[in-house]
Amino acid sequence: MDLEKGKDMSYFQSYNWYMSILPYQLKDNWLHENLFVVVEKNGLPALIAPLTIVKHNWLHYNQKGVYLMGRNGWSDYLNFIYRDFDGEAVEALFSDIKEKFGINDWFFEQLKESSALCSYIIDRKTVLGDFKKVCVALELPESEDEYLACLSKSVRQNIRTARNRLAKDGKELRFVLDDKDIDKQKLEALRAGRLGKKNYEPNIIKRCKSWMKELLKFHYPDYLPFYVDKESHVMVAYEGAEAKAFFNYGLDKPRQNIVLMAVGTDESFARYSPGMLLMLEFIKEQISLKEMNVVDFTRGNEFYKYALGGKDHFIFYGHVKI
C-alpha cells in the first residue's frame, strides 16, 4: 500500500503488521470497538486511522476515549497511516469520530516525537497531559572500522573480556543472523527467563500496586511477534546446539530501518555476553551489506543499546480534548 511508505511511518504501520496483530486486539462489544477509518481526498485515500474506541469508562484505568490500535502490545510506534501529512484529513477524522461516537477525548501513545502528526497535535490542540518515553537507535556508519572506533574503550574491553572467557572455558559461540529453522518454543523459554529477571520489583508496596493495576485494566491477548508476524526474522547465538541469546527483528525496507522486537538470553550464560556479541556481529554484517541505514532498538533504555552505539529519540504520550 502506498500510504504505508510515508517517511513518518514505521514497520508497525504496515498492512502486514496490522493483519498479524488484529486477532490480538480487544474484541468488539458494548464497551470497546476496533475500526479502520479511511479519509479520502479527491477520491483517493489520504489517511487511514487504525483505532480502538473505548465507549464507556470502566473501572479506574480504562478511560472512555479514542486510542491508536496496537497499544499494549508489540507495536513500538503508533500513528495514523499516511504518505504525506494532511491536517484537513486529520480534522475530518476527528469530526467524524465525534459525530459517530460522541467522544471528544483522544489518547495518543507511542507517537514518534519527530512525526508531523505529533507536531500538529502539540501546535494545534489542547494537550491536557503529556509525557514522553525514550527509544534508542543506531545510525549505521559507512564502515566497520568507523563503527568500532565509535564504541567506548570500556565497551571494547567488555567485548574482549567476553571472548576471552569463552576461549578460557573452552566454549564457542556460533551466530546465525537469519535463522529460519529455530524452534520458537526455545525462544519463548529464553525470553521468559530474561523477563522474570527484568520485571522483578523488590518493593512489596509497588508490587501490590502493579498487581492491582494489572487486575483492573483491560486485558489484551498475549502474543509474541516471532509467532504471529510471518515477515519477521530471528538472529540466534548458539553454543553447540543450544540457543543462548536471540533477537527478533523486522525489516522496514521503505525507510531502510531494522526494528528489534522480542529479545531473550540464557541468564546462566550471561557472563559470556552472548546477546552483545550476537548484536555486534549483526551490526557488522548490516554495515557490509549497505542495505539498511538504522538499527532501531525501539522502546527502552537498556545498557546494551547505548553500549552498541545507540542514541536517544522519543515517543509522545498525550491526552487531547477535541
pLDDT of 180 strictly over 70: yes
Q: Cα 28 to chain center, whole Å?
A: 24
Query: So what's the pLDDT on residue 205?
Result: 78
* 3-state SS, residue 171: coil
pLDDT of 280 strictly over 80: yes
Question: Buried b / exposed e across 26-38, counting CB within 10 Å, b at 16+?
Answer: beeeebbbeeeee
Residue 24: count of CB within 10 angstroms of its CB: 15
| Shared-domain flag, residues 107 and 154 | no
Q: What is the pLDDT of residues 189-225, one digit of tens each?
A: 999 865 555 555 567 777 777 777 778 889 899 999 9
Please report whether residue 267 resides in a domain: yes
| Shared-domain flag, residues 162 and 116 | no
Query: So what's the pLDDT on residue 193?
Result: 65
| Shared-domain flag, residues 99 and 151 | no
| Shared-domain flag, residues 162 and 299 | yes
Q: Is residue 308 very low, low, confident or very high in pLDDT (cuts 50, 70, 90)?
A: very high
Please report whether residue 306 resides in a domain: yes
Q: Considering only residues 271 and 201, tell me which one the structure prediction assigns the higher pLDDT.
A: 271
Question: Buried b / exposed e across 79-117, counting CB within 10 Å, b at 16+?
Answer: bbbbbebbeebbebbbeebeeebebeebbbbbbbeebbb
CATH classification of the domain holding 26: 3.40.630
Please report whether residue 296 resides in a domain: yes
| Shared-domain flag, residues 24 and 169 | no
Please report whether residue 119 resides in a domain: yes
Query: So what's the pLDDT on residue 153?
Result: 96
Please report whether residue 127 resides in a domain: yes
| Shared-domain flag, residues 111 and 239 | no
| Shared-domain flag, residues 123 and 190 | no
pLDDT of 147 strictly over 80: yes
Please report whether residue 205 resides in a domain: no
Query: So what's the pLDDT on residue 214?
Result: 77
- Distance, in Å, from the CA atom of 46 to the CA atom of 66, rounded to the nearest integer, reads 20
CATH classification of the domain holding 260: 3.40.630.30
Please report whether residue 217 resides in a domain: no
Q: Rounded to the nearest 5 degrees, what angle is found at the Cα of 191, between the Cα atoms of 186 and 193?
A: 100
Structural domain tally of the chain? 2
- pLDDT, averaged across the chain: 94
| Shared-domain flag, residues 158 and 237 | yes
**First-to-last C-alpha distance (Å) of the chain:** 29
Q: What is the pTM of this model?
A: 0.93
pLDDT of 228 strictly over 60: yes
| Shared-domain flag, residues 154 and 270 | yes
| Shared-domain flag, residues 158 and 111 | no
Q: What is the pLDDT of residues 45-93, one digit of tens each?
A: 999 999 999 999 998 889 999 999 999 999 999 999 999 999 999 999 9
Express as a percent the part of the chain with pLDDT over 70: 97
Q: What is the pLDDT of residues 88-108, one digit of tens each?
A: 999 999 999 999 999 999 999
| Shared-domain flag, residues 76 and 62 | yes
| Shared-domain flag, residues 7 and 123 | yes
Amino acid type, 97: I
Most confident of 1-10, 56-65, 163-172: 163-172
pLDDT of 112 strictly over 60: yes
Please report whether residue 129 resides in a domain: yes
Range of the domain at 151: 137-195+225-313
Query: So what's the pLDDT on residue 217?
Result: 87
